[in-house]
Amino acid sequence: MITTLLYSMTGLILFAMGLFTLIIHSHPLRKILAVNVMSTGVFLILVAAAYKPLGLGKIDPVPHAMVLTGIVVSVSVTALALLLACRVQETSNLDLLERRKQEARPKESNQ
């Protein structure tokens, strides 16, 4: 009972932290990491809901199958998202940002 509660609360906190990071950060790799942490929290809640201690009967295998499928799907989604992030980084107009940043740097050092 306490194990179910502990891991469910952990999954909830992980989901909340991942959502917070997904909203406030701007780097695409950080966003992909945050989505991974959010999916981990959901899996943790699903498996913790199916947990029973060792003497109290068998464990329901349906959430385990769902979580197994979800892990494999999340890895492939991560690979696709990383590829898309690389393409965005390579095709966006970065020289303009670099020039603006180098123009802005002496101002900061003067301040």
Partner 1 sequence: MDAIVIYSILTLFDITLVLTMLWLAWYLLSTEDIFKAVVLFISFGLLMALAWVRMRAPDVALAEAALGAGLTGPLFLSALRRMNRTRKGERRLDSNENRGKDHNTEQEQA
Q: Which residues of this chain interact with partner 1, rule CB under 8 A?
A: 2-3, 6-7, 10, 13-14, 17-18, 20-21, 25-27, 29-30, 33-34, 36-37, 40, 43-44, 47-48, 50-55, 59, 64, 67-68, 71-72, 75, 78-79, 82-83, 85-86, 89-90, 94, 97-98, 100-101, 104
We find the least distance from the C-beta atom of residue 49 to partner 1, in angstroms, to be: 10
Question: Distance between CA 80 and CA 74 in Å, rounded?
Answer: 10
d(CA 111, CA 105): 10
C-alpha of 92 from chain center: 24
